[in-house]
């Protein structure tokens, strides 16, 4: 989805008039939940996911859920990083459950950097502004709101519907609630499949829906440490052995290396759809690359688009450097962090071996903890994709739906161990600049949030039976 035909930051037009988008009673109730969730600071180490999860649990109980249907969880070492699981029991014991998954922690946001208070929901020119308005409190609020509405309407699905709102997705070293559930309470979350973040859709530069996306698979994020060491000495008498230069040589070797192209059923379908919507030179290059992944000329053209380049292969890039101990001394130590996004089917061990080869004998390379599992791409199952397309024809007529592999990573990686495929659900459209997610002035188009909410509510009911 995040390809050349959707890339480039365009000037954003104002959102079209929203015809009573917030006037229905159910929409007002949703807004109350969404606003409370967004305005509760859940930055790990600063705010409290446990507080936010408790607020959701209170609303679930008020809607009629019994205590036995709600599980609030945390661990003593991380009391503020808790989450909540809710279960709506189905009528058919033979039907496997489904899981609605979202994380409620957010990336840090400094007030002095933002035009607005990042933890105060503000509506301006047809957009909601605040940290987490998209990632991932939009989906978390939609799931919690749907569970509440199901109970209030007396809806009894055939299959059991589970919801897990967790903490720790945005911070590598945090307590991760999704991982904890999969490891310690799999019976609470296991099911035939799960719906998660990572899909959605994109507007064009004029604010018109351009495409819907269902995420089917993702890369794995893994950090590696490069370390060069020397005896050091006085800077007035330099020697050829220099930790900074040796580290630099290793990093330049990584910079100059291209991991081989890999393709999955999902990326083939995504690239095929992309070829229909890009200029002729790019379209021809994509077609050639699909026929022959070793076509270097085609690769060079396609890889001009940074997201397509990342979609084709494992990527590794230096992100942090620390070197030296005094301005008048030869460096005794130089380190760098290299962040890799590993293609499905490849391994941390294989990537580490290649990085060691590139770094050479003067630099040591180690894989940083935690080493998370590599995501297993789920199948393009018609039972999953079919209802998505059927409802898209109602809510987004004429808008194509494209399967995509995320070049990032989500909590989906933790559910492979319990044999549950996870799909990034379509429905919530984003702008071409990805709405300031992880950056300044994160925002979401109001009409997109409410339309996506209605679509996802009906989608869950369609799966529920």
Could you state, in order of their start, the residue ranges of all structural domains in the chain? Answer: 4-200+404-464, 220-367
CB 61 within 8 A of CB 108: no
Whole-number pLDDT of residue 21: 61
Closest CA to 7 of 431, 344, 439: 431
Q: How far is CA 273 from CA 141, 268, 286, 381, in A?
A: 31, 9, 10, 18
Model confidence at 409, pLDDT cuts 50, 70, 90, reads confident
Confidence check: pLDDT of 10 > 50: no
What is the CATH architecture of 220-367? Answer: 2-Layer Sandwich (3.30)
H/E stretch holding 98 reads strand 98-103
**Does a cis peptide bond (omega within 30 degrees of 0) precede residue 448?**
no
Model confidence at 71, pLDDT cuts 50, 70, 90, reads very high
Percent of the chain at pLDDT above 90? 84
Confidence check: pLDDT of 12 > 60: no
Average confidence (pLDDT) over 273-293: 93
Whole-number pLDDT of residue 22: 75
Instruction: Give tens-digit pLDDT for 135-186.
Output: 999 999 999 999 999 999 999 999 999 999 999 999 988 999 999 999 999 9
CB 413 within 8 A of CB 376: no
Whole-number pLDDT of residue 7: 35
Q: Which pair of tokens denotes residue 219?
A: 């890369």
Instruction: Give tens-digit pLDDT for 115-137.
Output: 999 999 999 999 999 999 999 99
CB 333 within 8 A of CB 227: yes
- CATH fold label, 4-200+404-464: Aminopeptidase (3.40.630)
Confidence check: pLDDT of 6 > 50: no
Instruction: Give tens-digit pLDDT for 258-281.
Output: 999 999 989 999 999 889 878 999
Per mean pLDDT, which range of 78-82, 283-287, 292-296, 415-419 is the poorest? 415-419
**Does a cis peptide bond (omega within 30 degrees of 0) precede residue 456?**
no
Q: How far apart are CA 247 and CA 369, in angstroms?
A: 21
Whole-number pLDDT of residue 107: 97
Q: How far apart are CA 360 and CA 375, in angstroms?
A: 29
Confidence check: pLDDT of 13 > 70: no
Per mean pLDDT, which range of 51-55, 336-340, 345-349, 404-408 is the poorest? 404-408
CB 355 within 8 A of CB 386: no
Q: How far apart are CA 286 and CA 275, in angstroms?
A: 6
Whole-number pLDDT of residue 372: 84
Whole-number pLDDT of residue 210: 87
DSSP characters for 199-257? -EEEE-TTS-EEEEEEEEEE-EEEEEEEEEE---EETTS--S--HHHHHHHHHHHHHT-
Instruction: Give tens-digit pLDDT for 223-271.
Output: 999 999 999 999 999 999 999 999 999 999 999 999 999 999 899 999 9
Q: Which pair of tokens denotes residue 231?
A: 């005896």
Average confidence (pLDDT) over 401-428: 93
Q: How far apart are CA 162 and CA 166, in angstroms?
A: 13
Confidence check: pLDDT of 204 > 90: no
CB 438 within 8 A of CB 210: no
User: Helix or strand or coil: residue 288?
Assistant: helix
Looking at the whole model, is its pTM more than 0.75? yes
Q: How far apart are CA 299 and CA 276, in angstroms?
A: 17
């Amino acid at each position: 989805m995040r390809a050349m035909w959707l890339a480039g930051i365009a000037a954003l037009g104002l959102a079209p008039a929203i015809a009573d988008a917030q006037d229905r009673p159910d929409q007002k109730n949703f807004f109350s939940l969404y606003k409370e969730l967004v305005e509760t600071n859940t930055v790990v180490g600063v705010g409290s996911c446990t507080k936010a999860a408790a607020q959701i649990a209170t609303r679930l109980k008020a809607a009629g859920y019994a205590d036995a249907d709600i599980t609030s969880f945390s661990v003593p070492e991380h009391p503020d990083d808790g989450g909540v699981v809710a279960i709506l029991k189905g009528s058919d014991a033979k039907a496997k459950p489904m899981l609605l998954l979202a994380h409620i922690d957010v990336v840090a946001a400094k007030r002095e950097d933002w035009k607005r208070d990042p933890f105060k929901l503000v509506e301006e020119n047809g957009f909601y502004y605040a940290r987490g308005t998209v990632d991932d409190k939009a989906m978390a609020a939609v799931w919690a709101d749907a569970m509440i509405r199901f109970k209030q309407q007396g809806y009894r699905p055939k299959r059991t519907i589970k919801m897990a709102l967790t903490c720790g997705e945005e911070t590598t070293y945090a307590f991760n609630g999704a991982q904890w559930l999969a490891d310690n309470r799999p019976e609470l979350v296991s099911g035939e499949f799960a719906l998660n973040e990572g899909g959605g859709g994109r507007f064009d530069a004029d604010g018109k829906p351009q495409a819907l996306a269902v995420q089917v698979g993702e890369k794995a994020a893994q950090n590696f440490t490069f370390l060069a060491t020397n005896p050091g000495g006085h800077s007035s008498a330099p020697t050829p052995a220099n930790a900074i230069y040796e580290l630099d040589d290793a990093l330049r070797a990584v910079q100059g290396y291209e991991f081989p192209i890999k393709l999955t059923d999902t990326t083939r379908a995504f690239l095929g759809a992309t070829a229909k919507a890009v200029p002729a030179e790019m379209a021809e290059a994509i077609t050639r690359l699909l026929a022959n992944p070793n076509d270097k000329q085609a690769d060079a053209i396609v890889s001009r688009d940074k997201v397509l380049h990342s979609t084709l292969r494992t990527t590794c890039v230096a992100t942090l450097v620390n070197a030296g101990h005094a301005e008048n001394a030869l460096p005794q130590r130089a380190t760098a962090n290299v962040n890799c996004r590993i293609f499905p089917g490849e391994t941390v061990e294989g990537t580490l071996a290649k990085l060691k080869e590139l770094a050479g004998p003067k630099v040591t390379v180690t894989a940083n903890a935690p080493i998370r599992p590599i995501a297993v791409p789920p199948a393009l199952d018609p039972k999953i994709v079919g209802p998505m397309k059927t409802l898209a024809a109602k809510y987004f007529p004429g808008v194509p739906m494209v399967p995509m592999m995320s070049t990032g990573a989500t909590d989906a990686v933790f559910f492979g161990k319990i044999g549950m495929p996870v799909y990034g659900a379509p429905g919530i459209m984003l702008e071409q600049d990805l709405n300031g997610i992880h950056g300044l002035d994160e925002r979401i188009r109001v009409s997109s949030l409410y339309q996506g909410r209605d679509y996802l509510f009906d989608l869950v009911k369609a799966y529920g039976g």
